[in-house]
Chains A and B, each alone.
Chain A
Amino acid sequence: MVEELKESEKSEEEILEDIKEVVIYKLEMFSPDKRFSIGSHEKGFTRDELIEEVRKETEIGKKVIEVELTFLRALKDGTLLEEVLTSEE
């Protein structure tokens, strides 16, 4: 109950910091020998470069967060599983 109260008292800034930490934690698990092609960025990004983009909240960083949140929501509400289970030959 106290924890719940504390959660609800968090400011938007604090929530964003929490989300960034989750996203960075996930990115840290990615393989370092892969790069990401995103949008019109010619060089692409390594895992560590993406982490830096998230930390600095750049446009790319915000996009990484958006992708992660979209994925987590799909996991939470069952959309992802539903999509996979309904795939047809």
Chain B
Amino acid sequence: MGSTLLITRPEHDVTTRYLSKWSEKIIQEAKRKEKNIIDLFRSKANRNRIISTLGKRGPELVVLNGHGSEDCVMGHNNEIILRSGDREAFNSKIIFARSCKSARRLGQNAVNQGVTAYLGYKEDFWFKYNITKISRPLEDKTATLFLEPSNYLAIALLKGHPTGYANNKSKMLFRKNIEKLLIEGPLAEDYDTIRYLYWDMIHQVCLGSEDATF
């Protein structure tokens, strides 16, 4: 039996809808790599489901999408699905949380309690989107500047790259987008997003082992 990806995709507001739609690309890559996939979509992204799945099966890679804070990550309708004290849930190898601030305390606790590597953000994760593209997040060029680099973190892991490399490669894509906008100059439509791309890039971290692979 191959390795397993668990991914949460709450979808109760615009932010989670964007993260969910962009996560379809991660799932596609996991299918290409013939991984087992546990896709906790919408109401399935709830605490009971997460805790029992993490405890029983210990998926090797966990990708959490949703709102968050220093101590927790949330699921559908902002239910807290994982918090610092969930010792029994930290037997997975690699966790990537695309949520705000969770790398500050939850991530460090997870690593201290047995997770090999925790990738995420030490600060708020910002992205900008075009209100005319809300129904088609994958066609939103503004949001793409943010979500493609962060998506690549999970995709690099699925390709078998180590955690440290995946983090650096993802940051490189943020840099490339900043570079592209700097070259296009102040008249570029999304020139003003540079400051937010830079913010996300410098606060994206890999805690624990940089050599862990999926």
Spell out A's residues near B (CB within 8 Å): 26, 29-31, 33-40, 42-44, 63, 67-68, 70-71, 74, 80, 83-84, 87-89
Contact = CB atoms under 8 A, between A and B. Distances in A.
Nearest to A47: B192
Contact of B18 (A37, A38, A63): A37
Of A29, A33, A83, the most chain B CB neighbours within 10 A belong to: A83
Interface in B104-141: 124, 126-132
Interface residues of B, number: 36
A29 B12 CA distance: 30
Given A80-B178, A84-B178, A34 B124 contact: no
B6 interface: no
A73 to B, nearest CB: 11
A42 B13 CA distance: 6
Given A44-B15, A71-B194, A87-B175, A39 B67 contact: yes
Contact of A68 (B129, B179, B195): B195
Interface of B: 12-15, 18, 67-69, 74, 78, 100-101, 124, 126-132, 142, 172, 175-176, 178-179, 182, 189, 192, 194-196, 198-199, 201-202
Given A35-B131, A87-B175, A87-B176, A80 B13 contact: no
10 contacts: A35-B131, A37-B15, A38-B126, A39-B67, A40-B78, A44-B15, A80-B198, A83-B178, A84-B175, A88-B172
B189 A70 contact: no
B194 A39 contact: no
A80 B201 CA distance: 11
A40 B175 contact: no
What is the predominant secondary structure among interface residues of chain B facing chain A? helix
A29 B187 CA distance: 11
Contact of A71 (B69, B172, B175, B199): B199
A41 to B, nearest CB: 8
Contacts of B178: 80, 83-84
Nearest to A80: B198
A43 B134 CA distance: 12
A22 to B, nearest CB: 12
A63 B124 contact: yes
Contacts of B196: 36, 67
B172 A87 contact: yes
A84 B179 contact: yes
B124 A31 contact: no
Contacts of B132: 33
Given A34-B142, A84-B179, A84-B182, A70 B198 contact: yes
A63 B176 CA distance: 25
